[in-house]
Every structure is written in structure tokens, then in C-alpha cells.
Amino acid sequence: MTHSSSTDFGAESDGSASRFGVDLATTKPGTPGGIFMRQFWVAVARSKDIETGRAKPLRIMSEDFTIYRGAGGAIHIVDAHCPHRFALMHLGWVEGDDIRCVYHGWKFDGSGQCVEQPAEEPGFARKVKIKTVPARENIGLVYAYFGEGEPPAFPPFPTRATPGIMDIWNAEPMPCNYLQSFENSMDEVHVAFTHSPGGSHAPLAVDLPLVTAEETDWGMLRLGKRRNGIDRVSLHYAPNVTRVIVPPRAGLDVKGWREIYFHFTPIDDENHLWLIAGHTEGTPEDIADYKAKQAAYDKLVAAAPPAMAVARDLMNGIGVYADTRHPDLAVIQDIATQAGQGRVVRRDGERLGRSDIAIIHWRRILAREFQAIARGKPRKHWAVAGEDIVPTLGF
């Protein structure tokens, strides 16, 4: 692992967007943020939500696509609209590994090549292609590469290979910019307050950590130092993944804590997806126990009001935050605090302090890279992290 120098930040650092003269939040195509994000594989869906033979619309980083799983099992991502007269492709039919447009029957193969045009002259089809985006699957998620040229190495980061189970949480569409949630995942102090009602994070609230962060060749490593001298190590893989050890959710306690891979993927500048994979370590018996608890937990969640609806009520002053109880309480707490900052938080007006160092550090990395993109200067070459760099709990 190589580390670049880490910078000292005083309480006066504000890390605001205007300070750097770049928009840190946007990922629209053609913007520095959009070009930056499109250098990486990004998670776009849960594998189990993309059924064989069915196409769905997919909006990522303010662009619209169609996603489908062909008969061979491979995921395909193509333009949202047919190149003929722009009908929506997801209305059409998946045929084997091809997709046929509902409007006039043009059919495209998995490479995007038009292979049939029922009402056209022979020879026209080979001149027509639909835009495609490379897609791969790992740990129960679909990843896509939206950039130019060859995609980087896949998978984009290492995951734990010890015995256990990797499962995927419910996908939440969050009504705010992705960077708010990515920044929240760097914010260890919030845990002691945001998640104190309900008590699932109580062990982390015993003593507030002193946070430090350092840039690495794959992203940023964050340390939370507590009085007992044990550091909690969390990893932030560029551009939008946090790998961390978290306490079990209430009712889902198994031996040990779980390792979580949070993906915060922009839908557009004001919405993003939470795609969360969790690795639970254990023997086959532990995992059977975990699965039974998960099934019971899923029933409780299904019977409760949707987390998003409860969070919206709290943001609108309906109900009392501290008194709210729900099987997905931590999720509600996170939605209400992060989406409640506004669709795109006003970073110019914040008052950042010592505890925000990891956030400030990441913003400076983004600003540096965005400026390099805007000015056509050389950018950082991002690497895939080594298997040996893992998060730790340390409380």
C-alpha cells in the first residue's frame, strides 16, 4: 500500500465547493465530477432484481439506460431509447441474449449490433448499433462501466473470502445527492447521536473517536482513535464505496460484527441508490442461524411502514425522531439526517471542524482531481486495493 502525505486540517478548514471553484456534487456527463466517476466500475443494481428475460429502465449519473439479463445469464445494459425513432427499449422483448424494440421490431444483439429490421431493406441493419455499457456481477451486485475506452480491473475492490455469507440489503433510492451519503459513511461521530435512539450502535457511542484520514492509491483510509488506544480502520474505495465493520442490526445478532460494503451510486444529482452488501462470517450452523433471523427480520420489515415513508414523515415534523421505533430504524435515522440536509447540501455554508477531517480530506481529493480534469492536467491513476487491507472494529 502506498500513501500520499496526509494533510493537517485545522478547525478553520471549510472544504467548501466554492473554495475550490468546482462542483463537487454533480456527476452529469461531461462535468469534471461526471468524468471522474466514469473512470470506475459503479454498482447499479442488485443481481436478484434483474431477472432473466426481462428489461428494466435504469437511470445512473443523470443518463438513462435499459438493463436486462439474457437467456445465457449475462447482464446487458443498452441505451434507454431505440436508435430508430427513440422508443423506450425496456418496453420491448428480450429474445435469447438480444433485445427487440416494441415500436417497429428492430432487434439488437448483446454487442448492440442491430441484427433485424423487419420492415427495412437488407443491409441497413448492419449500419445501426445501439449504445452498450460493459456490465459485470460480483457479491450479488451488478456493476457497470460508463467511461470511455477499456474498463479498469474487475472486481473493483477485494472482498472477504472467509467462510460465511454475503447478502444484499434492500436497495433504497435516497432523495439526495450521493456525496452526502458517502460523506456520512466517513462520519464516525454521527453514530453516537443519530443512532442513539433504538440503541443498535451503542458500543460505538461509548467514547467519541478522534478521526484521521489518509489518501491511498485506491481511495482513502480512515482511522477512528478512541481512548483505549485501539484504532477502528475503515476503507473508502474511490469513487463511492465504503467498507466498514458495523454492529449487527437489532434482531440480527450473530457471532461477531458484519463487514459491510456500502455503494452510493448517483441516479442523478438529487437522488442516489444505496446498494449494500454485507458479509457475515461463521460456520454453516452460524449461517443457518443468521438466515433464520434474517427471514424473521424480513417479515418484520415487510409488516412495518416503508422506511422511506417514516423518514419523510420525520423530516416533515410528523412523529418524534427520538421516539421512533421500526425494524429498519438505523436506515430511517440515516435517511432523515442525510436527505434532510437538502437534495444537494450547501457545502459553502457549512462550519466544519476537527471531527470532519475525513470529509474535508475526501473533498480535497475530489477537488484536486476535478480541477485536473477541467484543466486537462494529468490525473491520479487509481489502483485496486490489496487483499491485505481490511477494515477493523476497534472499540
Interface of this chain with ligand FES, residues 263 to 322, rule: CB under 6 A: none
Is 269 a residue that touches Fe ion (CB under 5 A)?
no
Residue 325 CA, chain-centre distance (Å), reads: 26
> What phi and psi, each to the nearest 5 degrees, are found at residue 71?
-60, -30
Q: How many CB atoms lie within 10 A of CB 32?
A: 21
Which does residue 205 bind out of Fe ion, ligand FES, none, counting CB within 5 to 8 angstroms by kind?
A: none
312: left (phi over 0), alpha (psi -120 to 50) or beta: alpha
Q: Which residues contact 82 (CB under 8 A, 6 or more apart)?
A: 88, 89, 92, 101, 103, 106, 130
Applying CB under 6 A, which of residues 101, 186, 311, 385 lies at the interface with ligand FES?
101
Contact 32, 374 (CB under 8 A): yes
Give 105's DSSP letter.
Answer: -
Closest CA to 142 of 68, 222, 245, 72: 68
Is 59 a residue that touches ligand FES (CB under 6 A)?
no
**According to DSSP H, which parts of the chain are helical?**
17-20, 32-37, 178-184, 190-194, 284-303, 307-315, 329-339, 357-375
Q: Which residues contact 353 (CB under 8 A, 6 or more apart)?
A: 11
Whole-angstrom distance, CA of residue 269 vs CA of residue 281: 36
Question: For ligand FES, which is the closer residue by CB, 106 or 264?
Answer: 106
**Shortest spacing between CB 78 and ligand FES, in angstroms:** 12
Strands 55-60, 63-69: pairing kind:
antiparallel
**Shortest spacing between CB 41 and ligand FES, in angstroms:** 29
CB half-sphere exposure, 282, CA atoms < 13 A: 20
Contact region with ligand FES (CB under 6 A), list: 102-110, 161-169, 201-209, 362-370: 102-110
Applying CB under 6 A, which of residues 43, 82, 114, 179 lies at the interface with ligand FES?
82
Which does residue 390 bind out of Fe ion, ligand FES, none, counting CB within 5 to 8 angstroms by kind?
A: none
Contact region with Fe ion (CB under 5 A), list: 1-9, 159-167, 217-225, 332-340: 332-340
Place of cell 478553520: 12
Which does residue 106 bind out of ligand FES, Fe ion, none, counting CB within 5 to 8 angstroms by kind?
A: ligand FES
Contact region with ligand FES (CB under 6 A), list: 72-80, 84-92, 243-251, 322-330: 84-92
**Shortest spacing between CB 338 and Fe ion, in angstroms:** 8
Is 359 a residue that touches ligand FES (CB under 6 A)?
no
Total residues at the site for ligand FES (CB under 6 A)? Answer: 9
Which does residue 104 bind out of ligand FES, Fe ion, none, counting CB within 5 to 8 angstroms by kind?
A: ligand FES
Is 104 a residue that touches ligand FES (CB under 6 A)?
yes
Strands 258-268, 241-246: pairing kind:
antiparallel
Contact region with ligand FES (CB under 6 A), list: 97-105, 176-184, 300-308, 340-348: 97-105
Question: For ligand FES, which is the closer residue by CB, 125 or 205?
Answer: 125
Which does residue 248 bind out of ligand FES, Fe ion, none, counting CB within 5 to 8 angstroms by kind?
A: none
Q: Which residues contact 33 (CB under 8 A, 6 or more apart)?
A: 22, 23, 24, 25, 26, 27, 366, 370
**Shortest spacing between CB 99 and ligand FES, in angstroms:** 10
Which does residue 334 bind out of Fe ion, ligand FES, none, counting CB within 5 to 8 angstroms by kind?
A: Fe ion
Total residues at the site for Fe ion (CB under 5 A)? Answer: 1
Whole-angstrom distance, CA of residue 351 vs CA of residue 10: 12
Contact region with ligand FES (CB under 6 A), list: 65-73, 101-109, 271-279, 328-336: 101-109
Applying CB under 6 A, which of residues 3, 48, 54, 85 lies at the interface with ligand FES?
85
Whole-angstrom distance, CA of residue 328 vs CA of residue 319: 16
Contact 233, 222 (CB under 8 A): yes
Is 328 a residue that touches Fe ion (CB under 5 A)?
no
Is 87 a residue that touches ligand FES (CB under 6 A)?
yes
Is 334 a residue that touches Fe ion (CB under 5 A)?
yes
CB half-sphere exposure, 205, CA atoms < 13 A: 13
Interface of this chain with Fe ion, residues 213 to 242, rule: CB under 5 A: none
Interface residues with ligand FES (CB under 6 A) are 82, 84-85, 87, 101, 103-106
Interface residues with Fe ion (CB under 5 A) are 334
